[in-house]
Amino acid sequence: MTAMIFTRVLAAGPEATSTAARILQDGGLVAFPTETVYGLGADATNAAAVARLYAAKGRPRFNPLIAHVPDAAAACGLGRFDGAARTLASAFWPGPLTLVVPKAEGCPVSDLATAGLDTLALRVPDHPVAVAILAACGRPVVAPSANRSGHVSPTTAAHVVGDLAGRIDLVVDGGATPVGVESTIVACLGGTPRLLRPGGVPKEALEAALGGLVADPPAPTTDPGPGLVPDAGPIAPGMLSSHYAPRAFLRLRAAAVSPGEALLAFGPTLPPGAEGALAVLNLSERGDLAEAAARLFAHLRALDASGASVIAVAPIPRHGLGAAIADRLARAAAPRG
Ligand code: TXA
Ligand code: MG
Protein residue with its CA nearest to atom 1 in ligand 1: 182
Taking alpha carbons only, the member of 58, 37, 120 closest to residue 324 is: 37
Which atom of ligand 1 lies closest to the CA of 36?
Answer: 1
Q: What's the pTM?
A: 0.90
Residue 101: nearest ligand to its CA?
1
Mutate to test the pocket of ligand 1, among 59, 65, 239 (most ligand atoms within 8 A of CB): 65
Q: What is the pLDDT along the chain (337 residues), one digit of tens a residue?
A: 557 899 999 999 999 999 999 999 999 999 999 999 999 999 999 999 999 999 999 876 778 999 999 999 999 999 999 999 999 999 999 999 999 999 999 999 999 999 999 999 999 999 999 999 999 999 999 999 999 988 899 999 999 999 999 999 999 999 999 999 999 999 999 999 999 999 999 999 999 999 999 999 876 544 443 333 333 333 443 444 555 678 899 999 999 999 999 999 999 999 999 999 999 999 999 999 999 999 999 999 999 999 999 999 999 999 999 999 999 999 898 866 4
Domains and CATH numbers, the chain: 8-210 (3.90.870.10), 249-333 (3.40.50.11030)
Distance CA 215, CA 195 (A): 6
322: part of which helix (H) or strand (E)?
A: helix 322-333
Q: What residues have CB less than 8 Å from 337, skipping those under 6 apart?
A: 241, 242
Protein residue with its CA nearest to atom 18 in ligand 1: 238
Dihedral sign for Cα 34, 212, 289, 147, please: negative
Residue 244: nearest ligand to its CA?
2
Distance CA 248, CA 45 (A): 38
For ligand 1, whether the C-beta of 39 sits within 6 Å is yes
Q: What are the respective helix, strand and coil percentages of the chain, to the nearest 5?
A: 30, 20, 55
Where on the phi/psi map is residue 308: left (φ > 0), alpha (ψ -120 to 50), or beta? beta
Q: What residues have CB less than 8 Å from 277, skipping those under 6 apart?
A: 257, 259, 260, 261, 262, 263, 308, 312
